[in-house]
Amino acid sequence: MFEGRLLQGSLLKKVLEAIKDLVTDTNFDCSETGIALQAMDSSHVALVSLLLKDTGFDHFRCDRNLALGINLQNMSKMLKCAGNDDIITLKAEDEGDTITFMFESPNQDKISDFEMKLMDIDSEHLGIPDTDYQAIVTMPSAEFQRIVRDLSSIGDTAVIGVTKEGISFSTGGDIGKANIVCRQNTNVDKEEDQTTVEIHEPVSLTFALRYLNSFTKATALSPQVTLSLSKELPIVVEYKIEKMGFLRFYLAPKIEE
Amino acid sequence: KGAQGRLDTFFKIT
């Protein structure tokens, strides 16, 4: 059987909120090292990759590898019934067709069990090679969210450029143009307010703002976001999940016609 | 602006 008890249940709620509108159905791959998920959106333009390591759980047991086929909208409905401070336990039998979510209130005076039907999903996995990206930028996640939202009101696509000076976001549309530059900034008091640029070669790529906007639903998971770019490769937008792993989004760039 | 790329042109399906 599989069982995982997560003291900070709100993490799982936040993960679902971040991905449920991008991906409909996906397998949660459970193994003794944790829970992993990889899924593309229906147009195969964006991909979600989640890792929740066993060590981040208060209790974790997985007797044999399981692929739990889950409709994310339905799981989101179930998790919305958990309080933000609740402890969440996931349970599934090896041969079962359901998953159980148990919610415990912080002082243990309310215990709820929600049982959700699983589904069979033939998932296509993409092999994502380890890449030395040409540019890696880490910046405040709220700042990234703000920029992407602001630019979305002006254009449909953004050119993201990285030089050793910083990272720039540009767009244009019927009403005009916009260009935002965030400079490397390591002299701020709080580490989470820093913007750091690690660069081997300047890079500039164009992406659909609609998807970038969708990724920023993960902002609540981490104060910082890391953007990894290389010429002619999908961008990686990564939110680290403290002590547990990460939620990564990959987005294919616009290509020359 | 260019056409929207697809992930399966960059990564192989396994």
ipTM of the complex: 0.95
Of A44, A208, A255, nearest to B8 by CB-CB distance is: A44
Q: What is the mean pLDDT of residues A137-144?
A: 98
Cα R_g (chain B), whole angstroms: 9
pLDDT tier for residue A186 given thresholds of 50, 70 and 90: confident
Nearest Cα residue to B7 out of A159, A25, A48 = A48
Dig out the tokens for A122 from the structure.
């033939």
Q: What is the mean pLDDT of residues A92-115?
A: 96
Interface contact A253, partner B, CB < 8 A: yes
Q: What is the mean pLDDT of residues A154-168?
A: 97
Query: Contacts for A175-182 with beta carbons within 8 Å, 24 or more apart?
Result: A178/A150, A178/A151, A178/A154, A180/A147, A180/A150, A180/A151, A182/A139, A182/A143, A182/A147
Q: What pLDDT score was predicted for residue B1?
A: 63
Q: Is A96 helix (H, G, I), strand (E, B) or coil?
A: coil
Interface contact A42, partner B, CB < 8 A: no
Buried b (16+ CB within 10 A) or exposed e, A45-82: bbbbbbbbbbebbeebebeeebbbbbbbeebbebbeeb
For A14-59, write each residue's pLDDT tens digit.
999 999 999 999 999 999 999 999 999 999 999 999 999 999 999 9
Q: With pLDDT > 90 as the criterion, what percentage of chain A qualifies?
A: 95
Of B5, B9, B13, nearest to A125 by CB-CB distance is: B13
Of B4, B12, B14, nearest to A254 by CB-CB distance is: B4
d(CA A20, CA A245): 19
A206/B1 CB distance under 8 A: yes
Nearest CA in chain A to B6: A45
Q: Are A124 and A94 in contact (CB under 8 A)?
A: no
CB atoms within 10 A of CB A132: 8
N residues, chain A? 257
